[in-house]
Each structure stands twice: as structure tokens, then as C-alpha cells.
Structure 1
Amino acid sequence: MTQITTVSSWKSFGGNLSVYDHESSLLGCAMRFAVYTPPQAADGPVPVLWYLSGLTCSWANVMEKSGLQRAAAEHGIMVIAPDTSPRGEGVPDDEAYDLGQGAGFYLTATQEPWAKHFKMDQYITDELPKLVAAEIKNADMGKQGIFGHSMGGHGAITLHLKHPETYKTCSAFSPITSPARVPWGQKAFKAYLGPVSVAWEQYDSTELVKERQSRARIMVDTGTADTFLKKELKPEIFIDACMANGQALDYRMREGYGHDYYFIATFMDEHIAHHAAGLKG
């Protein structure tokens, strides 16, 4: 018996974009995710690229706004977009946009009322990949990459550094790379993890890269007109940490671009090509 339910499906660039629901025993709620399957999957296994979205977003933002399907079809890459948090009745929430539903921060919460449901790092690295391997035809789980935007960029880089043999390639758009040092991260970490402690460091890319480096070249794009650049992103902190600790990094500041999907769509082809080169080379 299948463990996923198809919500919708559309043909796109010779492949298919499908949206699925499933019951997550880990998160204790129903979850929804999207998969773009390229036409090459009809003939055999294709690499898998995970996209982690930012605050307030779901699978829909990247699949509907970024135009990734064309490049994914060209390179023969399957792209999977999970949700950003557990959702639904009974799942705790907050009135603010940057905490609770839509704001999982890709970590395992230890504080109430979040601890029961908010385990997004485990969901992304364990439960959902097992489901994909069992249910999605020709997903090559031996060739996986990961990327994301903003909060999702934070998730992508931290999960890559923790699991470099699983996620062989990594990139990000406007990532929060030093969450322990900026308001977005400090608010979330205090709520989910409690007072400042070593637990915070395990979800901070800048701290992680000091103790573990991957063999991959992490590629990042951030806009110079991003309204969150100086307060929430502070890229120089992560750039300095990578340089000091030997992590290969290609950090590009894009003149005039913001924190939006117009920016992401502009450079999405380059990100897909970056992952294709690493996963298929």
C-alpha cells in the first residue's frame, strides 16, 4: 500500500511536477512536498536535489516562481521541495511570521511546546528520504545534493556540513549562515533550543565550518540590495570562517538584487548546473 497521496500533477518541460501528502509519524502531522521528475527518469535513476525554502514558504514558492523545471529537465535532475515546518491543528504556532508554523529552522526542538512536532532536520535527512526512496520511481538516493533560500539556505549548508557523504553538493540563495549572531536565529534558537548553549552551535553554519569542512565547493548568491543583508545575513562572518578553515566557497554578491524570487529565478540555472556537475561528474 502506498504511503503517499497524489494531490496534483502537471507535465512540465517533458517531465512532471507532482505534489504529495503523507502522514509523518516523526512530526505527528500530515506533511506535503513536491517533486519535479525530469524526463530522463523514464529511462533510469536520476540524481536528487533537495530545495529547502525560507520563512513563511512551502513547496509552492520555488516550484511556482523559480522556473527550475527547465534547467532540471535539461540536466536530468530530480528536485524535491519539502515544507518548511510541521503544520495543522494541534501543531503549536506563533503569531509572528518567524516562529512556529512556516518557520521550522531545520532543527530538532528541545523546548515546549515545540519539541513534539518540530524535528525538521530529522524529517529532511531521515523520514522523507526513506519515503522518497520507497515511493518515487528512479530517484537515485546515492547521488543527492541540497540547496535553499534564506532560512532554507541555513538548513542546506548545516545539513551538508553534517552529512557531506549524503549531500555531495551544496548551494544557497541569501542564506542565514550565522543564526546565533542575528535576530532571526537568536529568536528561533531561544524558543526551540532554550538559552544560549553549545546546542546553538550545532545549527550555525559559521560554527560548524570551524570544526568540519566538506570536500565540496559551496556556492552562494546574495543580493547587494537585500533588505536583510546587514541585520540578518551578515555574509562576511561565514566567508571569513570558510577562509580561515579551508572550506571551498564561491560567494557571489549580486549587484542590485534583493531577497526575492525574482533574484532566485535569475540565477537558478547556475545553481542547477552547479549541482549537476557535482552529482553527475
Structure 2
Amino acid sequence: RQVQAILGITGDFRTKELVKHIIDNDISAGVITINNVNSDGLDLKHGIYATFMPKPIFGIEGSGMHVHQSLFKGNRNAFFNENDSYYLSKIAKYYIAGLLKHAPEIAAVVSQWVNSYKRLVPGHEAPVYLSWARRNRSDMIRIPGYQPGKENSTRVEFRVPDPACNPYLAFSVMLAAGLEGIEKKYELADPIEENVFEMNSEQREQKGIGSLPGNLSEAISLTENSQLVRKALGDHVFDSFIKNKKIEWDQYRTQVTEYELKKYLPML
């Protein structure tokens, strides 16, 4: 807290979570980077080790970086509409639809490591399916409840990113996806208030609920073919990112893991 105060960063501390106050998109990536470096330095000083690895421990929930997003027109929150049952404007719904539609192709940027997809599995409060709702932890996008007098707090919570992503790249592609939805007026599907993890594949198909890629290789393939991501990152960054991610996947897939040795040596 003392170091953050010196750096001018305010935050609220909760169980297992650090929640930042409202901050503009153009400086938020820098704040996240400073916070990560700050955490590493303090932890080493006190003889402990901080990790932003998405899934460091098997069998329990991983670490996410849920990003709360809203757009303002002047001093007015462009996402708020008092006459909507969810208090969401058309702009907000277009934005949500853009995030949902393009989530699979931006996944490799917001969840960019092999380990990221160990977190993104059903049943561990991490988003896997392309759906939205108000208070549903099985959905990819959640809408925090409206409180009278706090119209400017209207926002969408995108739950796919993890804390090991590059925030500069991640914020670029999230914003690009949302703005694409606004520009092309994407139609937003109905909210899913049921537990999506408890649905079978047929039920999800009937409701039109898609899913994220299952591993980094699948994610890279989708991103590599995405004009939206290429435009958001620029050719140079895009090409370098894809090249590096392919190298990472090739290095990973040739490894013989402890799991394989324990499972297969006794039986093969």
C-alpha cells in the first residue's frame, strides 16, 4: 500500500483480489505493469515469491484479470440506459456483442501462454463459453448490478484475460472487438442466467453458445487469421507475436511431462 501510494495508485484489497478504481484506458496498462513489478520487488524483499502465472496449482481456481470496461461521451457513461432491464444502452449491447463474437480470435492475446488454457476449463469459475449475464460466474461477460445514483459505474466485466498477458496488447484487442460491435451494430444474444457448465453440448448448441479455443495452438490459429487483431496491433507487432507464440507452442508440445511419466511408464 505504501509503495502504491507513493506511485499515486489507489486500490481496494479483497480476498485474493486487487481491485483498481476507474482509470482511463490509455494509462491503465502502465498501472498494471507498475503494479506487477511492485509486487515482485516487495515479495522478494520479504522472502516470498509472487507469480502472475494463470494456473500455478492443479485442482484449484487459477488467477484471472477481469477487465471492467465502459465508454464515456463527455462526462456521461455511454453504456447506461435507465429504461433497460439491465440498465444497458444500445451502445453497451453492441460492445458486449463485439467482445463475445471476437473473443475466440483475441484469446491468444488476452490469454497468451500455454498455461493460460489450464485455467480456462469448465468448472473452475473461469470463462469458457461465449455468453453473458448479470450474476453468473459461468458466463464470459458479467454485468455488475446497478445502484441508483451510480450511473457512471455501469460497465461490462470481461473475464477471459489473465494477469500474465501483455496489458498493452490485451487492451488494444478488447477495445477493437467492442468497437467493431458498435460500428457494425452486432445483435446481442439473450443473457444466460443458468449455469452454462451444467449444460450439455446439445443444450449449448440450441442456445447458440460457442466456446473459446481449448489450447494455445487453437488460439494461435484463430488469431493468425484475424484481420481485427492484425489491424489493432499493426503488422509488425502482429507478425512478431504470432511467430513467438508458435515457437512457444512447439517447445511445449515436444516436452515429456511428469504427468505422462507417472501415467504411462507403468502401463506401456
One fold, TM greater than 0.5? no
Return the structure number with greater relative CO, CA threshold 8 A, min gap 6.
2
Return the TM-score normalized by structure 2. 0.30
Q: Greater strand percent: which structure?
A: 1
Give 1 or 2 for the bigger CA radius of gyration.
2
Q: Greater helix percent: which structure?
A: 2
